[in-house]
Amino acid sequence: MQAELLIHADWILPVDASDETLAKHSLAIADGRIAALLPRTEAEAQIDATRTLDLPGHVLIPGLINAHTHSPMSLLRGLADDLPLMTWLHEHIWPAEGRWVDQEFVADGTRLALLEMLRGGVTCFNDMYFHAEVTAKVCAEAGMRVVAGMIVVDFPTRYADNAHDYLHRGLELHDRYRGHPLVRPAFAPHSTYTVSEEPLQRIRTLADELDAQVHIHLHETRDEVQQVLGMHGERPIARLDRFGLLGPQLIAVHMTQLEDEEILRLADTGAHVVHCPESNLKLASGFCPVHDLIAAGVNVALGTDGAASNNDLNVLGELRTAALLAKGVSGMANAVPAEQALRMATWNGAKALGLEDEIGSLEVGKAADVVALDLDNPHTQPMYHPCSQLVYAASSHQVRQVWIGGRQVVRDGAVLTLDPDAIIKAARGWGERIGQK
Amino acid sequence: MQAELLIHADWILPVDASDETLAKHSLAIADGRIAALLPRTEAEAQIDATRTLDLPGHVLIPGLINAHTHSPMSLLRGLADDLPLMTWLHEHIWPAEGRWVDQEFVADGTRLALLEMLRGGVTCFNDMYFHAEVTAKVCAEAGMRVVAGMIVVDFPTRYADNAHDYLHRGLELHDRYRGHPLVRPAFAPHSTYTVSEEPLQRIRTLADELDAQVHIHLHETRDEVQQVLGMHGERPIARLDRFGLLGPQLIAVHMTQLEDEEILRLADTGAHVVHCPESNLKLASGFCPVHDLIAAGVNVALGTDGAASNNDLNVLGELRTAALLAKGVSGMANAVPAEQALRMATWNGAKALGLEDEIGSLEVGKAADVVALDLDNPHTQPMYHPCSQLVYAASSHQVRQVWIGGRQVVRDGAVLTLDPDAIIKAARGWGERIGQK
């Protein structure tokens, strides 16, 4: 068999139907896809590769998927900390965004976010922000896979005047990227407290017509649930259910406030949950009942949320927090074991984004979104179980090589498709302007 | 003024009585101590330094203090995960220790732990393990500051036969390191469920005579509290109180199960609490009420616990987890703000270990235990507040330079006083032997 690249690694965690660890295996890439996954001896005998890469001490994993973020908010990282959600939004984030967010902010912020995510082994992210056409363009140029949110809110911003206008701009984005190998648009109504019934109903119809996912903040805090209950006489999840939005197209983010029957309803309808443990902790939003959701059969993916409430876009750190926190919250030390945490950040993310046929695992035929981490490091030794070292001990700077759709985007820890110095310089400039107030 | 070294940094977080951030300041080191801390312009005018180090984009902080660990257990990292405390101890850790722990294990395990801790900006740790004389010797050689635990349990191990024998070996260690600049022994009775009344009473007397701290696991889990209540008719904390052990010499580790009056009693007596959030999460031990303890005036320090239950010795990661988790547990987003999290891992640690006159802050006259982190990195930009970037976004590989008592132990990210290749090789050998079973 012919291949462009053959990678030999000490361990491969394919995250396929099993939770197997493959020792001394090799992965072949051809035409941007995984062409073979074989024991090294067989791969050496059967595969005729243009290039070979030997990675002793490394583990290969599927590219990490950040299933919820607001990438340009990297420019607001650390602007306001140690505040609850509504104070943080109303007194700090929304005023800063109102004053500063334009196309240049989004371009520079997305680039800063991409630099951090690519360097940390993230190969796909689900974004929600203004000027998504800029984010999509930056990602396409940098070789990053993105689900670009067609954001909708009722209130005017510099990006759009009203819900109709937001949708119109989103649909332009959708048309522009039809069939693009890296950019997939999704509807992104902000929440049930910022988007009214008419645009939510319209999104329901359009999502069916265009076969697009619907990405929304849902049950993030107790206050949100109470507010919507006060405004509309129903909890946010019931409201979406009534509009026909609970289903396999729904990406419901946060979900810290859930009653038992709501968990069952999520499972019955096939809606996806994105757990953002660090943002939920930092804003004291509450605890997502991850263990109960998984037990009920709900697909739970992982997101960092934006860097203004996390404050990083480190999915490897997030999956560790998810694995640890689930144990504390459920009181069961076997809740979310290492293999499940890795699955949340790969396969489950792909499923939530409607991309499970394309990415999320290392299986023959899927796109070659592959990450190699060097575990030959004091803090990931000795080696009893590679998945344990990855989840409970590795840090993102151990990511050494990253491919997206077979294109190498990180080599020896350096991002190849972006200019780090220029990006940090631009970020510093924004920091100086915004920090002055 | 003469100095051996003058360091210019963009920011200094001294963690003194204030929570100030000093911009464009310089720190001078002479005779192993901090000789001056001044605005850069004044330092350049006043200080005649043998060597000058300019660190643009860097922040200087006091050396991080890991107030509870079992350093040689680094060799058991990832041996058994996703299990509750008692299953993990009885079925995995204690059998492995019984079979493998000897002086060589402790030497190799301590070295692996030191490599990780020094690399991560930890300049002092409070240890509890067998063969503490080996740990002390390795630390003295590597230039690491350690509070070496004179461990006591009732049951026999390869290290000692009974409580009397443990104490005897501990006291030998104490005599050997009297007045040593880096090694300070402390009594380390394992817990109230593994150490009986007579040795605990003896430790009370000896701790007074020798002016040594007493380091103990306390109220780690609900089961522990119930077990001791069943055995002795009193909760562990009441038992220690009755023996006269609650006081400023007590380093009480974990404390996830606390009644209101117990918190008040801790505050009244001046006992110290060491919070180990990641270990408590991983073993599903419960949540330490950090916010309530601090509000009551209890000194709360931070520890990683051993690498077999964390699974790293990364204090920078731990202080981030502490800052995030306190918000989630208390439901208040302003609980444990960034400055307080940093203080827990520096000043509060020094106070718990009885070393607050020597270390824990960057103040003139204290030992020069200093860490420089490079914040000129995509995931710590832009710069609104250095302490926020340090606590909520920085990762330990951004630690670039470390001094302990004025001796440089890490330069440009490389540990100077240990041999990384030999240590990783030894760790790998232990992993192969122990993993085979």
Amino acid at B209: E
Average pLDDT of span A4-20: 96
Whole-angstrom distance, CA of residue B170 vs CA of residue B128: 11
Are A65 and A315 a contacting pair, CB within 8 Å? Answer: yes
Chain A: closest CA distance from residue B364 (Å): 30
Average pLDDT of span A211-220: 98
Helix B163-176 and helix B197-210, axial crossing angle in degrees, nearest 10? 10
pLDDT band at A85 (very low <50, low <70, confident <90, very high): confident
| DSSP code of residue B70 | -
| DSSP code of residue A89 | I
Asked if the model's pLDDT at residue A378 lies above 90, the reply is yes
Whole-angstrom distance, CA of residue B358 vs CA of residue B182: 11
Task: Give yes or no for A324 touching B (CB within 8 A).
Answer: yes
pLDDT digits (tens, 9 = 90+) for B87-121: 888 999 999 999 999 999 999 999 999 999 999 99
Whole-angstrom distance, CA of residue A323 vs CA of residue A315: 12
Of all residues in chain B, the percent with pLDDT exceeding 70 is 100
Asked if the model's pLDDT at residue B71 lies above 90, the reply is yes
Asked if the model's pLDDT at residue A311 lies above 80, the reply is yes
What average pLDDT does chain B have? Answer: 97
Of all residues in chain A, the percent with pLDDT exceeding 90 is 97
pLDDT band at B86 (very low <50, low <70, confident <90, very high): confident
Ordered domains of chain B (ranges, CATH): 2-61+370-404 (2.30.40.10), 64-352 (3.20.20.140)
- Counted across chains A and B, CB pairs separated by less than 8 A come out at 215
pLDDT digits (tens, 9 = 90+) for B314-353: 999 999 999 999 999 999 999 999 999 999 999 999 999 9
Chain B: closest CA distance from residue A373 (Å): 15
Whole-angstrom distance, CA of residue B261 vs CA of residue B265: 6
B325 vs A77, A281, A424: nearest CB: A281
Are B394 and B79 a contacting pair, CB within 8 Å? Answer: no
Whole-angstrom distance, CA of residue B363 vs CA of residue A418: 42
Q: What is the DSSP string of A194-206?
A: TS-HHHHHHHHHH
Task: Give yes or no for B432 touching A (CB within 8 A).
Answer: yes
Q: Which of residues 58-87 of B touch A (CB under 8 A)?
A: 75, 77-79, 81-85, 87
pLDDT digits (tens, 9 = 90+) for B171-213: 999 999 999 999 999 999 999 999 999 999 999 999 999 999 9
- Residues in B closer than 8 angstroms to A75, CB to CB, are 382
Chain B: closest CA distance from residue A338 (Å): 8
Chain A residue with the nearest C-alpha to that of B110: A378
Give pLDDT, residue B324. 98
Give pLDDT, residue A279. 97
pLDDT digits (tens, 9 = 90+) for B11-46: 999 999 999 999 999 999 999 999 999 999 999 999
Task: Give yes or no for B296 touching A (CB within 8 A).
Answer: no
Q: In this structure, are strands A272-275 and A250-254 parallel, antiparallel, or unpaired?
A: parallel
Whole-angstrom distance, CA of residue B178 vs CA of residue B321: 36
Whole-angstrom distance, CA of residue A394 vs CA of residue A403: 19
Asked if the model's pLDDT at residue A256 lies above 70, the reply is yes
- Residues in A closer than 8 angstroms to B379, CB to CB, are 116, 120, 307, 312-314
Helix B132-142 and helix B163-176, axial crossing angle in degrees, nearest 10? 20
Average pLDDT of span A60-75: 98
Whole-angstrom distance, CA of residue A298 vs CA of residue A197: 26
Task: Give yes or no for A254 touching B (CB within 8 A).
Answer: no
Residues 6+ apart with CB under 8 A from A305: A68, A69, A70, A253, A276, A278, A279
Give pLDDT, residue A437. 59
Whole-angstrom distance, CA of residue A283 vs CA of residue A212: 30
B396 vs A278, A395, A435: nearest CB: A395
Give pLDDT, residue B85. 79
Give pLDDT, residue A436. 85
pLDDT digits (tens, 9 = 90+) for A106-133: 999 999 999 999 999 999 999 999 999 9
Average pLDDT of span A394-412: 98
| DSSP code of residue B398 | G
Residue B72, classed as helix, strand or coil, is helix
Are B22 and B11 a contacting pair, CB within 8 Å? Answer: yes
Whole-angstrom distance, CA of residue A122 vs CA of residue A317: 12
CA proximity to A82, closest of A309, A321, A275: A309
Asked if the model's pLDDT at residue B437 lies above 80, the reply is no
Chain A: closest CA distance from residue B231 (Å): 24
Residue A235, classed as helix, strand or coil, is coil
Rg (alpha carbons) of chain A, rounded to whole number: 21
Task: Give yes or no for A147 touching B (CB within 8 A).
Answer: no
Asked if the model's pLDDT at residue A84 lies above 90, the reply is no
Whole-angstrom distance, CA of residue B89 vs CA of residue B71: 16
> What tokens were used for B203?
């430790």
Residues 6+ apart with CB under 8 A from A139: A110, A114, A145, A146, A148, A182, A183
pLDDT digits (tens, 9 = 90+) for B355-407: 999 999 999 999 999 999 999 999 999 999 999 999 999 999 999 999 999 99
Give pLDDT, residue B83. 87
Contact A393 B283 (CB under 8 A): no
pLDDT band at B436 (very low <50, low <70, confident <90, very high): confident
Chain A: closest CA distance from residue B309 (Å): 9
Contact B78 A379 (CB under 8 A): no
Q: In this structure, are strands A48-62 and A370-374 parallel, antiparallel, or unpaired?
A: antiparallel
Report which of residues A38 and A18 the model is more confident about: A38
